[in-house]
Amino acid sequence: MGAGKVLGAIVGLGVGLLIGHPLAIILLAAAGGFAGHHFFDEQHAAFTDPEVLADFGPPLPRSFDEHPGDPEAPQPSRREEPYEELARDICALFIEVAHADGDVRREEVREVRNYFESVLGYGPESLRVVRGHLKEFLARPPDLDAAARACGEQLPSAERYRLLDTLFELALVDGDLQRSEREALRRAARGLGISEEDEQAIAVQHLGEADDHYAVLGLTPDATDADVKKAFRRLAAEYHPDKVSHLGRQAAEQAARRFQEVRDAYEEIRRLRGL
């Protein structure tokens, strides 16, 4: 029985005793147990799906988990990894972006392993430490903004751009970029200290330029999200059929076609950018 269920049952029993009715005692104790299980045990349940972390191999020996601050306990080699707090913050970023569209998938976790292994040069022992961080954040989601700021403060400029590039790769590993993923990437970029223009340049590398769609709006692919929305609103108002209905049928039909072109271009850019 989970701690929440026990605590809930005790609270419910106490309320029932105050009421004094035997049936109330039974019902409130049961209800309290159920509520405690739902709101505490389930919300704080440990992550148990081993397949998601399978690419990282088995977990660390118990001595690593139980005595993380004990200098006498065996510790993983630090020669291949940056400071552990930085590694932990990087893991937090990866998990938050991966989780933005729902469940974290094994393919996404594989991208995390590739980053630590290929970019940071982690060996098997250090990767198992990363596995522990990922498991922690899968059970209790981290604060994306705080993690991004911490990475931005510790990583040099080139590494911050490389990290954001990898976050885009992770977000796209399971298909099209979702709006929730795009928002998570924006927040990550802001925390990393990457400008909107530079973030958009990285996005274009992964999502494609779609030059024709931008041209319809009178823009180029490096336009900001605000520029895209502003151009769409202006052109949609300019070419709305109601604006030229007094000029006759032909003018209204031309405006309708142009309005549809503008709308289609905007919708495609929205899809590409996850707006």
Same domain, residue pair 187 and 253: no
Q: What are phi and psi of 233, to 5 degrees?
A: -60, -40
pTM over 0.85, yes/no: no
Q: What is the C-alpha separation between 187 and 116, in angstroms, rounded?
A: 22
- Judge if 151 and 254 occupy the same domain: no
Return the SS3 of 53: coil
> What range does the domain containing 35 cover?
3-41
Percent residues over pLDDT 90 in the chain: 14
Do residue 187 and residue 250 come from a single domain?
Answer: no
Say what the pLDDT of residue 245 is.
Answer: 72
97 plus 171 within the same structural domain: yes
Higher-pLDDT residue of 12 and 199 is 199
Both 16 and 66 in one domain: the answer is no
At residue 68, the pLDDT reads: 44
Beta carbons of 152 and 189 less than 8 angstroms apart:
no
pLDDT at 23 over 90: no
Please choose, from the candidates 242, 233, 238, 227, the residue with its C-alpha nearest in 3D space to the C-alpha of residue 273: 227
CA distances from 132 to 46, 77, 242, 271 (A): 12, 15, 60, 35
Average pLDDT estimate for 8-26? 47
Same-domain pairing of 70 and 171? yes
Over residues 89-144, the pLDDT tens digits come to 999 999 999 888 887 888 888 888 889 888 888 888 888 888 888 888 888 888 88
Verify that 155 and 222 share a domain, yes or no. no
Whether residue 19 is found in the same domain as residue 102: no
Query: Do residue 264 and residue 168 come from a single domain?
Result: no
* Shared-domain flag, residues 158 and 176: yes
Q: Is residue 47 part of a domain?
A: no
The average pLDDT across 42-61 equals 47
Specify if 49 maps to a domain. Answer: no
Residue range 133-158: average pLDDT?
Answer: 89
Residue 242 has pLDDT above 60, yes or no: yes
Q: Which of 207, 228, 249 is the last residue of a domain?
A: 207
Cα–Cα distance between 162 and 211 in angstroms, integer? 25
Number of domains in the chain: 3
Q: What's residue 83's pLDDT?
A: 60
Name the more confident of 80 and 237: 237
Pair of tokens at residue 268: 């495609």
Q: Report the CATH number at residue 136.
A: 1.10.3680.10
Decide: 44 and 7 in contact? Cβ < 8 Å: no
Do 194 and 87 share a domain, yes or no?
A: yes
Please state the φ and ψ torsions of residue 219, each to the nearest 5 degrees.
-125, 175
What are phi and psi for residue 43, nearest 5 degrees?
A: -70, -25
Asked if pLDDT for residue 56 goes beyond 60, the answer is no
Query: Considering the domain boundaries, does residue 195 fall inside one?
Result: yes
Establish if 48 belongs to a structural domain: no
pLDDT over 50 (residue 219): yes
Distances (CA, A) of 29 to 10, 15, 16, 20, 39: 7, 8, 7, 13, 15
Domain final residue, candidates 192, 207, 222: 207
219 and 176 in a common domain: no
